[in-house]
Structure 1
Amino acid sequence: MDEQSPLGRGRRAAPPLRDIDPVLERITARLAARHGRAFSKETVERYVEECSWVLSAKARVATHLPVLVERFADQRLGALARGMGLSPKPVPEVLFVCTENAGRSQLAAALLRHRAGDGIRVLTAGSEPGTEIAPVVLRLLAEQGLDADEEFPKPLTREVVTAADVVVTLGCGDACPVRPGRRYLDWDLPDLSGLDIESARAVRDGLATRVDALADELLPTRVPRR
């Protein structure tokens, strides 16, 4: 099944990185095998190329780029397939959106993953994504014995919004597109940037309270808090 350009920009050339084409070909082959029941190889290739172009604009370390491209393209293709009903959607999906996808959205996502386990699929995105997760987020998670797993800042795309059952915005205003049938929540908590550590901890604790309440609503059976 073919799709129009995912971000509405038309097909983009791969970024000008040395030897990137063979890398993208290998990524495309792996993702085509994984998503072949839903999408043609051409569609997968277009997503891979576009993800490479988008992420390379902000990449600090080019050697890490292929890994991020594969994760981002995989997430988008999976979300597209679920949103279109082309693959199973066994659990509710929650999308956290903030401006840079480096602070509150990442913190909330890590807390919900810990709280819900495999009972809820959790995704994140940013309206103007940064280059890396904020150090304060990593510190706040480490204090709870948690980490950000393999997360990284990534742009908001229509696929993840379409797949989501609940979209939680954290300071990104009206940047998130509205899709019928989705539940939208706006959690009004301060940006972590510039806060002292005690104030940042208060934000984390406020997010934890909201995350617990959301998990209790969405999980089919109550999962004990860990």
Structure 2
Amino acid sequence: MDNFTVDIRSANIFQEDNLVLSDVNFSLGKGEFVYLVGRVGSGKTSLIKTITAEIPLKEGDGLVCGFNLKKLKRKHIPKLRRKIGVVFQDFQLLTDRSVYDNLLFVLKATGWKDKSAIKQRIAEVLDMVELKFKDYKMPHQLSGGEQQRVVIARALLNNPELILADEPTGNLDMETSEGIMQILHNLSASGISIIMATHNNQIIKKFPARTIKCEKGKVVETEQMTEIDFESLMD
């Protein structure tokens, strides 16, 4: 398990008392990029919530960023989540604060106090997403692609081992989406594991990667793009 950021074995995943996914076997290597696909209601969200410990793992085994999901105590859940960065489709930026202050808010909320360290870390993550000189801008002054880059920068602040990207290109045109994908692949190459939920078959074809599909209560691995029936992924 040491080589995996996520390793789930023989897991049954429930939403309250309803079995959503059965006999889940899914592993994600360190620095690996995978797509997560499937219809709405197929269990994608439940799988993600299990990985973040929002849904407790009752049956089976699971290791995420070194934390045993089966034995994880409630008080340790925040420590797990600090190792996971989340990228949302709808940005969820604080609209009344600058880019810098959006990132500052997260660092302060997660215990950062040293002003010089904070300033340095914000500069580092903005450089990683190619927004080094836009820290003073307000969200409404940025394009959609730039706002999504800020969201990725925010996800990187605490040096996550894993990034969960939920439809990160869903609101963007193809050219802008390609820029976001390039950043995500660069992060993967640097050693951060990435799970990207998407319905965008153009993106998957242009940036091929291992693909996991939720379907009929199962999690199916699809290595070859030709095996995926893209029509079945659409809502």
**TM-score over 0.5 for the alignment?**
no
Q: Which has the higher contact order (CA 8 A, sep 6+)?
A: 2
Q: TM-score, normalised by structure 1?
A: 0.26
Per residue, is there more helix in 1 or in 2?
1
Q: TM-score, normalised by structure 2?
A: 0.26
Per residue, is there more strand in 1 or in 2?
2
